[in-house]
Structure 1
Amino acid sequence: MKIGLLSDNHGYLDDQIKSHLQDVDEIWHAGDIGDISIIDRLTTLAPVVAVYGNIDNHITRSEFPENQILKRHGMTFLIRHIAGRIERYNVGTREILAEQKFDALICGHSHILKVQYDKRYQLLYINPGACGHHGFHYVRTLITFHIDDGKIHTMNAIELGKRGAIEQ
């Protein structure tokens, strides 16, 4: 199963993002969608699983939860927009991690692409960075990866170009 993972669109979706998601089985969105129409456009490519982020309005919050727990091909994933820093998560994230074992924690919010194994919680921390133009990041990013038999493999961090370099 191939996953396309993105976060922090802030209402922006270009053809370059869509081209990297053409062959995925599912799209996972870690929040700050910015406009519900982004989801409508993504669902033309693949089924979408999403959480709302701190900038998302009441419409997006009525469509998507704060947290998603997914089981795919022998792995359990927690997706939430704001989780805090690796190994020093915010209270809400720590409460969820205390209740259930996860193989991976997926979050957004920081606009910083980061994939790192968390020894303390024994899970893979994945933040795809930001694929929109709003924020302090320099390069827009997303991630693709495969899940098979309880393992993540073939993970690719994809650079989409500089933030603010909107094509006309």
Structure 2
Amino acid sequence: MRRIGLISDTHGLLRPEALAFLQGCEHIVHAGDIGDPRILSQLEALAPVSAVRGNNDRGAWAETVPATALAALEGLRLYAVHDLADLAIDPIAEGVQVVVCGHSHRPRAEMRGGIWYVNPGSAGPPRFRLPISAAELQLEGGAITPRIVELVKR
């Protein structure tokens, strides 16, 4: 089984629980609101990273992070955008199988029209009463299975 790690809304805080969860992933996607460029460096120490800029990512470092990313990972086409409302492509026409987003801090994995839409939730500071979470895509025999994991029990 292959694993693609999904994380979002770290807002400058990369928890040890998130690093432990992402250990062993072959690729990591950060869906924005990174908060600190050192987070990308820490993730890149684990696996190659595709990251997108969130609405709270500002400054010179953030200007180098794209607003969207399309990743082709050994037969998997994945598209990342911070806010799903900003999705400006037709995933079906682009051959995308998974759209990864963040922004809402609400973890969710939903199949729509043959496309997985996955929001790993927020892995950073607590917000409202939402869980602190991340996600992964498990890839095996052509099947894509998203899994959301609560990183810190509250």
Q: Where does 1:6-85 land on structure 2 (aligned, <5 Å)?
A: 6-84=7-85
Consecutive aligned runs of 4 or more in structure 1 exceeding 3 Å deviation: none
Name the Cα RMSD after superposition.
1.9
Q: Where does 1:107-126 land on structure 2 (aligned, <5 Å)?
A: 107-119=101-113, 122-126=114-118
Aligned amino acid, residue 156 of structure 1: R
Q: Where does 1:89-168 land on structure 2 (aligned, <5 Å)?
A: 92-93=86-87, 95-97=88-90, 100-119=94-113, 122-148=114-140, 150-153=142-145, 155-161=146-152
Q: TM-score, normalised by structure 1?
A: 0.81
- Paired with 2:55 and 2:140, the residues of 1 have a C-alpha distance of 32
- Paired with 1:135 and 1:156, the residues of 2 have a C-alpha distance of 21
Aligned amino acid, residue 146 of structure 1: Q
Deviation at 1:148, TM superposition (A): 4.3
Structure 1: where are the runs of 5+ without partners? 85-91, 164-168
Is the CA contact (8 Å cut-off) linking 1:2 and 1:26 kept in structure 2?
yes
- Paired with 1:59 and 1:37, the residues of 2 have a C-alpha distance of 14
Aligned amino acid, residue 30 of structure 2: H
Q: TM-score, normalised by structure 2?
A: 0.88
Aligned amino acid, residue 42 of structure 1: L
Q: 1:33/1:137 Cα in 2 relative to 1: closer, same or farther (>3 Å)? A: farther
Is the CA contact (8 Å cut-off) linking 2:54 and 2:67 kept in structure 1?
yes
Structure 2: where are the runs of 5+ without partners? none
- Paired with 2:42 and 2:76, the residues of 1 have a C-alpha distance of 28
Aligned amino acid, residue 117 of structure 1: M
- Paired with 1:125 and 1:144, the residues of 2 have a C-alpha distance of 12
Larger Rg: 1
